[in-house]
């Protein structure tokens, strides 16, 4: 049952309708915050008719004045449109703009829509989106309803709206164009691709709005293709605005009303295919028809009903999933739909914030899948595959993201898209704790890209990962490159802070202090500034000789440490270095606290062992023997190394201090079975002698102190040890 009340209206206001599509133009105040320097029409009034009123802009007026003064320009018989097309395809945007402006001046009384679109496109590519919007709108007014020129003009209007901060209006227009033309058999395929690609971009950027809080370092790479200039020029040359693209019906024809379900294998609206051709009809009536034909219920909240009331749309779709139709009907109005069983629930986005983000991602994925399926091999198709992987990653579906990236990698994309793909694949590797693979992919991104921004970001990531791997020297190289190349403030700050940490971990405090001093202006975030003050003071303290200067730096470090809050130290390296700084100025308990936090945040075994060793050493020196023993024990591994041997010696010493000589002897015998150095042998025998002394076996203890080893231990040692040490037979 359809539960939305059907509101009938006595008349439908059709102002702003072109070619049967509703265009909700923003008001002049909304669209342009200041008076545009280019005015269409006379006396700053927009031109609504193709006859009687000339097109006038300051730019064209100036060009007219210049040509009047230069007879050579007037006498030359130059086809400015053809010349402008050549400039445009060659990338000479300024030259193309100049030629199209001259051509517009030649057709001053009645410039054709195809020429205005050329001028608008060149203006847009120069970054002048406000004036481009004026030219596109004028082209729409001068074009035939449903013509290729009109649709190109409308997509241009949507692009300039998006660029000037009006994404809602752009979304509404592109959704209407999508529902009206995407299934048209008469419309040029390139125009349909452009509609779908722009719609996908608008929806994705809406999804990303909620992720702006993420730092620039953590953002995935997206590829936003520019309009295909070759295709645009070819369309304007071949089609112009001479013939309709979709053969729209005349306004006097009776409205069509066709709703047909082509397939319904299940109630899932993603699997229900519909065939619908209706003229301007209220949305609640369209939903009612779908409810009847697809045997579904629609329920809308009170707030959602208020939004739907009076809104109309036009459909001309064949074989389209009902889910996609609902997307483009409701999403531009700020509504979301959620299917539960056979009921479609409609809410305002603000009523279901948690579901809204997933809904927007789902819409974007459906549009991108359409682009992927209908486009032949094209940069826009490759970008759609990349973006579908990004959407999966942002929804924390790492496996699906990796699969889609691998699919794109098999297509061997070119240019910057290949570099962006490598960067995103590296981020997936980071999520899977595959740092070495991530570093390889980041270097591939650097080698493929000519974009300084992406190179800097990749180097900064490489440095961050090398820090996690414990390779401070390699981190210094990568972070230095990232700092030098970066043009993004957040990436530059991140590279600088990590570079100072890398220098400190590499025992190079002078370089750490120097880089922080030379790039102090790069540290903007308050939390980062507090940490930078600690690292700088700590670096100067480490490099200072004993004396008054050392005391002064210690005082500065205490002041800097006092400003640190737990929220400032989210990374394990931050916690490690701040723990060390606290220890240097005598705050042992605070040092232990931060080192414990660093141990909990350690990203891999290398850092877990390193931080545990430092924490155990500090606790041992502070007399916290039980806590120290726990951390030393974690360092004793199945494969002996220098750290493991040192930890075992400390465990033996702690056991002796805790009056457990038998445990001390057991540990010492384990140590002796390993390949240890002469100093380690001497320390082991000393511990054994003290243990035997505690047990009252003074004769054995004396032999250990003199460098002799009891026989039971010798039997398990190597022949080398037997030759070097005489034996003693215990009773």
Return the pLDDT at 731: 32
Residue 323, pLDDT score = 94
Kindly give the residue spans of alpha helices, DSSP state H, lying in 519-602. Answer: 526-542, 548-562, 572-584, 588-601
Residue 350's Cα: distance from chain center in Å? 24
Structure confidence at residue 503 (pLDDT): 95
Q: Tell me the average pLDDT across 413-426.
A: 92
Among 92-101, 210-219, 337-346, 448-457, whose mean pLDDT is lowest? 210-219
Task: Measure the CA–CA gap between 98 and 122, rounded to whole angstroms.
Answer: 9
CB-CB contact of 486 with 505 (8 Å): no
Spatial separation of the C-alpha atoms in residues 69 and 558, rounded to whole Å: 75
Alpha-carbon span 526 to 280, nearest angstrom: 55
Residue 262: its H or E element: strand 257-263
| Confidence class for position 259, pLDDT limits 50, 70, 90 | confident
pLDDT in tens, 220-235: 999 988 778 888 888 8
Residue 199: both structure tokens together: 């719609």
pLDDT band at 215 (very low <50, low <70, confident <90, very high): low
Pairing of strands 21-22, 17-18: antiparallel
Q: What is the pLDDT of residue 3?
A: 41
Q: Are 284 and 309 contacting, i.e. CB atoms less than 8 angstroms apart?
A: yes
- The residue among 61 and 418 whose pLDDT is bigger is 418
Mean per-residue pLDDT, 248-255: 43
pLDDT at position 41, please?
34
Strand arrangement, sheet containing 297-300: 297-300, 343-348, 335-340
What is the distance between the terminal CA atoms of the chain, rounded to a whole angstrom? 97
- Reading the block at residue 466, the tokens are 């090398």
Residue with tokens 């008001």: 27
Distance CA(367)–CA(365), nearest Å, equals 6
DSSP letter string, 71-125: HHHHHS---HHHHHHHHHHHT-HHHHHHHHHHHHHHTTTS--HHHHHHHHHHHHH
Q: What is the pLDDT of residues 30-61, one digit of tens each?
A: 433 333 322 333 233 333 333 333 344 444 34
Residue 709 has pLDDT above 70, yes or no: yes
Asked if residue 491 lies in contact with residue 217, where contact means CB atoms within 8 angstroms, the answer is yes
What's the pLDDT band for 216 if we cut at 50, 70, 90? Answer: low
- Please give the domain boundaries of the chain with CATH numbers for all domains: 21-188+227-238 (1.25.40.10), 257-352 (3.55.50.30)
Whole-number pLDDT of residue 253: 44
pLDDT band at 214 (very low <50, low <70, confident <90, very high): low
pLDDT of residue 161: 95
Q: Does the pLDDT of residue 15 top 60, yes or no? A: no
Position 722 scores a pLDDT of 42
What is the Cα–Cα distance from 531 to 442, expressed in whole angstroms?
27
Give the mean model confidence (pLDDT) for residues 201-210. Answer: 84
Backbone angles phi, psi at 411, to 5 degrees: -80, -5
The DSSP call for residue 423 is H
**% pLDDT > 70, the chain:** 81
SS (H, E, C) 586-598: CCHHHHHHHHHHH
Question: How far, in Å, CA of 498 to CA of 380, rounded?
Answer: 36
State yes or no: pLDDT of 482 exceeds 90.
yes
Q: Which residue is associated with the tokens 């202090």?
A: 513
Q: How does pLDDT run across 142-177, given as a tens digit for each residue? A: 888 888 889 999 999 999 999 999 999 999 999 999
**Whole-number Å distance between alpha carbons of 111 and 490:** 47
Pairwise CA distance, residues 710 & 704, whole Å? 8
CB 643 within 8 A of CB 655: no
Residue 112 backbone dihedrals phi, psi, to 5 degrees:
-70, 155
- pLDDT above 50 for 331: yes
Element (H, E) at 621: helix 605-621
Q: How distant, in Å, are the alpha carbons of 36, 571, 597 from that of 558?
A: 57, 21, 20
Q: Among 86-95, 420-429, 707-716, which range has the highest average pLDDT?
A: 420-429
Stretch 257-262: mean pLDDT, rounded? Answer: 84
| 315's tokens | 């459909």
Query: Token pair for residue 330?
Result: 């409701």
Contact 461, 490 (CB under 8 A): no
Backbone angles phi, psi at 344, to 5 degrees: -100, 115
Where residue 703 falls among pLDDT bands split at 50, 70, 90? confident
- The percent of residues in the chain predicted with pLDDT above 90, rounded, is 46
**CA–CA separation, 685 and 679 (whole Å):** 10
Q: Give me the half-sphere count of Cα atoms (radius 13 Å) on the Cβ side of residue 391.
A: 26
Query: Where would I find the beta strands (DSSP E) of 283-369?
Result: 297-300, 312-321, 335-340, 343-348
Q: For residue 199, is pLDDT > 90?
A: yes
Encoded tokens for 339: 């299917």
pLDDT at position 210, please?
65
- Do β-strands 312-321 and 273-282 pair in parallel, antiparallel, or remain unpaired? antiparallel
Q: Residue 464 is inside which H or E element, if any?
A: helix 452-469
CB-based burial label for 634 (10 Å; 0-12, 13-18, 19+): middle
pLDDT at 716: 38
The CA distance from 626 to 620, in Å, is: 9
What is the C-alpha to C-alpha distance for residues 406 and 644, in angstroms, rounded to an integer? Answer: 41
Nearest to 490 by CA among 143, 167, 218, 141: 218
Model confidence at 711, in pLDDT bands (50, 70, 90)? low
* C-beta atoms surrounding 432 within 10 Å: 13
Instruction: Using pLDDT thresholds of 50, 70 and 90, give the confidence band for residue 727.
Output: very low
> What per-residue confidence (pLDDT) applies to 212?
58
Residue 347: pLDDT above 90?
yes
Selection from 508, 500, 499 nearest residue 479 by Cα: 499
Number of helical (H) and strand (E) elements in the chain, helices listed first: 35, 10
Q: What average pLDDT is seen over the chain?
A: 81
Using CA atoms, how far apart are residues 200 and 371, in angstroms rounded to an integer? 9
Q: Which residue has the higher pLDDT, 596 or 19?
A: 596
Q: Which helix (H) or strand (E) holds 304?
A: helix 302-308
pLDDT at 108: 73
H or E element, residue 275: strand 273-282
Average the pLDDT over each of 14-18, 179-183, 196-200, 536-540 and give the range with the smallest value. Answer: 14-18
What tokens appear for 245 in the block?
Answer: 């693209």
Q: 29-33, 263-267, 507-511: lowest mean pLDDT where?
A: 29-33
């Amino acid at each position: 049952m359809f539960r939305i009340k059907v509101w009938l209206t006595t008349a439908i206001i059709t102002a702003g309708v072109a070619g049967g599509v509703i265009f909700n133009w923003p008001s002049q105040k909304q669209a342009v915050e200041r008076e545009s320097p280019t005015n269409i029409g006379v006396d700053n009034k927009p031109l609504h008719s193709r006859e009687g009123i000339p097109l006038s802009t300051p730019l064209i007026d100036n060009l007219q004045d210049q040509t009047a003064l230069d007879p050579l320009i007037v006498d030359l018989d130059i086809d400015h449109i053809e010349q402008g097309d050549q400039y445009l395809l060659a990338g000479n945007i300024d030259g193309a703009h100049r030629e199209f402006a001259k051509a517009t001046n030649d057709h001053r009384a009645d410039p054709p829509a195809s020429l205005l679109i050329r001028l608008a496109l060149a203006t847009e590519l120069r970054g002048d989106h406000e004036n481009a919007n004026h030219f596109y709108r004028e082209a729409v007014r001068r074009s035939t309803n449903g013509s290729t020129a009109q649709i190109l003009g409308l997509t241009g209007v949507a692009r300039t709206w998006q660029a000037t901060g009006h994404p809602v209006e752009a979304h509404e227009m592109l959704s209407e164009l999508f529902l009206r033309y995407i299934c048209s058999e008469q419309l040029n395929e390139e125009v349909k691709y452009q509609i779908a690609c722009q719609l996908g971009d608008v929806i994705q950027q809406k999804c990303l709005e909620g992720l702006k809080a993420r730092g620039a370092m953590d953002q995935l790479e997206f590829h936003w293709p520019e309009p295909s200039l070759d295709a645009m020029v070819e369309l304007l040359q071949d089609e112009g605005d001479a013939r309709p693209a979709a053969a729209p019906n005349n306004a006097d024809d009776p409205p069509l009303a066709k709703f047909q379900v082509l397939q319904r294998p299940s109630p899932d609206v993603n699997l229900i295919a519909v065939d619908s051709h209706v003229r301007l009809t209220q949305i609640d009536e369209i939903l009612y028809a779908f409810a009847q034909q697809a045997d579904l219920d629609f329920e809308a909240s009170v707030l959602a009903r208020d939004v739907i009331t009076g809104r109309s749309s036009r459909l001309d779709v064949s074989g389209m999933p009902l889910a996609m139709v609902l997307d483009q009907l409701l999403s531009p109005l700020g509504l979301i739909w959620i299917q539960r069983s056979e009921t479609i629930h409609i809410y305002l986005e603000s009523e279901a914030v948690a579901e809204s983000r997933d809904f927007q991602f789902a819409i974007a994925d459906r549009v991108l899948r359409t682009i992927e399926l209908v486009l032949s091999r094209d940069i826009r198709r490759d970008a759609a595959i990349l973006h579908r992987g990004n959407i999966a990653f942002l929804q924390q579906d790492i496996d699906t993201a990796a699969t889609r990236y691998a699919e794109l990698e098999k297509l061997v994309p070119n240019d910057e898209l290949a570099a962006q793909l490598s960067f995103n694949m590296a981020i997936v590797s980071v999520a899977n704790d595959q740092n070495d693979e991530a570093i390889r992919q980041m270097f591939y991104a650097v080698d493929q890209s000519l974009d300084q921004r992406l190179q800097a970001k990749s180097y900064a990531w490489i440095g961050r990962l090398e820090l996690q791997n414990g390779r401070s020297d390699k981190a210094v190289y990568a972070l230095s490159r990232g700092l030098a190349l970066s043009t993004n403030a957040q990436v530059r700050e991140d590279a600088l802070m990590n570079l100072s940490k890398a220098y400190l971990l590499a025992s190079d405090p002078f370089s750490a202090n120097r880089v922080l001093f030379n790039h102090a202006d790069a540290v903007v975030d308050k939390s980062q500034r507090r940490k930078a003050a600690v690292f700088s003071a700590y670096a100067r303290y480490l490099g200072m000789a004993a004396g008054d200067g050392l005391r002064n730096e210690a005082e500065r470090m205490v002041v800097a440490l006092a400003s640190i809050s737990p929220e400032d130290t989210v990374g394990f390296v931050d916690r490690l270095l701040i723990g060390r700084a606290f220890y240097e100025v005598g705050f042992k308990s605070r040092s232990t606290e931060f080192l414990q936090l660093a141990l909990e945040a350690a990203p891999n075994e290398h850092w877990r062992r390193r931080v545990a060793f430092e924490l155990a050493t500090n606790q041992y020196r502070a007399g916290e023997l039980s806590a120290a023993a726990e951390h030393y024990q974690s360092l004793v591994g199945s494969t002996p190394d220098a750290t493991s041997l040192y930890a075992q010696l400390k465990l033996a010493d702690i056991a002796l201090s805790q009056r457990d000589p038998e445990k001390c002897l057991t540990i010492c015998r384990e140590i002796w079975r390993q390949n240890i150095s002469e100093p380690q042998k001497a320390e082991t025998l000393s511990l054994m002698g003290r243990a035997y002394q505690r047990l009252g076996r003074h004769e054995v203890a004396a032999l250990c102190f003199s460098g002799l080893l009891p026989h039971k231990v010798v039997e398990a040692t190597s022949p080398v040890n037997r030759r070097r040490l005489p034996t003693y037979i215990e009773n």
